[in-house]
């Protein structure tokens, strides 16, 4: 007979709450930030440049521009690509809304392509079906950290003369065909939010190999202001002179955030290795459970997983996704759902987007939840998550 669930009065698997993700800050991180905070420059200083160089060294990209957050990275990429009113940008609905909002920020229209129901990433065939004469760019999202099918997507972009902007907010550390994410697309956007693999508190970055795009990105981050005499239209009369050459924003990263990012990146490979260990344990524990469907990975992606998503096979269970989610919380394993399809939000509905646009993404959303995955988890924590999932499946099994 199945063990009584905590939500029904049974004993929880854990005594304390375990959340789906969290940062890991060490004494070395604190020291790096403290040294910067007590230095001469805490913003617009040398740590920002050093962080950009470190990102280039890690990814292999020629240029990196760090910014205030991942949303700013996407906005800057769209602006640098010259996307404007009347243009269309294709992306996935299974993402945080910033992946689509960035098109709206520059006056363009987000167009949603459906997902591959096995990998959960954007489907190249659906992208192609969405391309029109107005399409200017494609923004694939490396959902959970797995790289998209970039051979197929790049071929489409080349065929139709489209800009490829990779939303790699989940994917730092991932490689596609032995090439680090950060060099696959025309521009790659990262996020350093606390639940991501490495954090700057907040923060983001764009990498590119294109010199012209790099210059536009750097200008856009800092009010559109140019200070390099070599790039000014007029010969400056003194070192104080600057020119605003475009409409930009204040999307700068502080030096103490950059210091934290650099310190975190010293452990990026170790963080990735631990995430892979946890993913392997989950895969082994759940692979033969017909009540669960696991995300499939393409051979080309060596994935540093940001999220571990389980899909409930609701036809094999007596519960809803909400009931399963709440029962996990009662066991003191707090899950999350990533994501509500973007166009189902009231704002996008007010713009005319309708339910049923991407049926595969909508069906998947109704069945998924993210279980805890972060490097600071102990082996006992991982065991508790597995135990909780199996306990619920046994109780709700038809």
Other beta carbons less than 10 A from residue 159's beta carbon: 10
Marked catalytic residue, from 109, 136, 196, 391: 196
Contact 242, 33 (CB under 8 A): no
Query: Is 196 a residue of the active site?
Result: yes
> Tokens in use for 369?
């939840």
Report the relative pairing of strands 135-139 and 88-91 from DSSP bridges: parallel
Query: How would you write 140-187 as a 3-class SS string?
Result: CECHHHCCCCHHHHHHHHHHHCCEEEEECCCCCCCEECCEECCCCCCE
Q: Which of 258, 309, 278 is nearest to 117 (CA)?
A: 309
Of 347, 342, 396, 341, the residue nearest 363 (C-alpha): 341
Contact assessment for residue 194 and residue 22, using Cβ atoms and an 8 Å cutoff: yes
In order of 19, 31, 126, 156, the CA distances from 140 in angstroms are: 27, 37, 12, 12
Answer for the pair 316, 290: CB distance below 8 angstroms, yes or no. Answer: yes
Residues annotated catalytic, as ranges: 196
């Amino acid at each position: 007979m199945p063990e009584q669930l905590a939500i029904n009065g049974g004993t929880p698997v854990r005594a304390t709450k375990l959340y789906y993700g969290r940062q890991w800050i060490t004494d070395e991180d604190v020291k790096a930030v403290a040294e910067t905070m007590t230095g001469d420059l805490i913003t617009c200083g040398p740590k920002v440049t050093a962080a950009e160089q470190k990102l280039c060294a890690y990814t292999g990209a020629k240029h990196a521009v760090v910014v205030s957050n991942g949303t700013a990275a996407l906005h800057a990429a769209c602006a640098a690509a010259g996307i404007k009113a009347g243009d269309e940008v294709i992306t996935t609905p299974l993402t945080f809304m910033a992946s689509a909002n960035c098109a709206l920020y520059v006056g363009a229209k987000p167009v949603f392509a459906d997902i591959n129901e096995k990998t959960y990433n954007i489907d190249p065939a659906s992208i192609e079906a969405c391309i029109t004469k107005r399409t200017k760019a494609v923004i694939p999202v490396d959902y959970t950290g797995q790289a998209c099918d970039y051979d197929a997507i790049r071929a489409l972009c080349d065929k139709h003369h489209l800009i490829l902007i990779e939303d790699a907010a989940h994917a730092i550390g991932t490689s596609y065909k032995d090439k680090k994410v950060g060099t696959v697309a025309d521009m790659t956007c990262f996020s350093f939010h606390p639940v991501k693999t490495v954090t700057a508190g907040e923060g983001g970055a764009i990498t590119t190999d294109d010199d012209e795009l790099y210059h536009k990105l750097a200008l856009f981050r800092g009010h559109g202001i140019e200070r390099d005499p070599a790039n000014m239209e007029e010969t400056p009369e003194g070192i104080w002179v600057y020119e605003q050459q475009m409409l930009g924003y204040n999307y700068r990263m502080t030096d103490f955030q950059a210091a934290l990012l650099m310190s975190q990146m010293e452990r990026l490979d170790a963080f990735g290795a631990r995430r892979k260990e946890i993913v392997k344990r989950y895969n082994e524990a759940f692979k033969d459970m017909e009540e669960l469907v696991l995300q499939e990975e393409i051979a080309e992606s060596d994935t540093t997983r940001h999220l571990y998503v389980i899909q409930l096979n609701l036809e094999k269970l007596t519960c809803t996704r909400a009931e399963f989610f709440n029962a996990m919380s009662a066991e003191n394993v707090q899950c999350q759902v990533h994501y509500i399809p973007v166009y189902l939000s009231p704002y996008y509905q007010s713009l005319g987007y309708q339910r049923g646009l991407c049926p595969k993404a909508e069906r998947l959303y109704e069945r998924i939840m993210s279980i805890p995955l972060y490097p600071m988890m102990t082996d006992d924590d991982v065991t508790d998550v597995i135990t909780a999932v199996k306990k619920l499946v046994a109780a709700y099994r038809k």
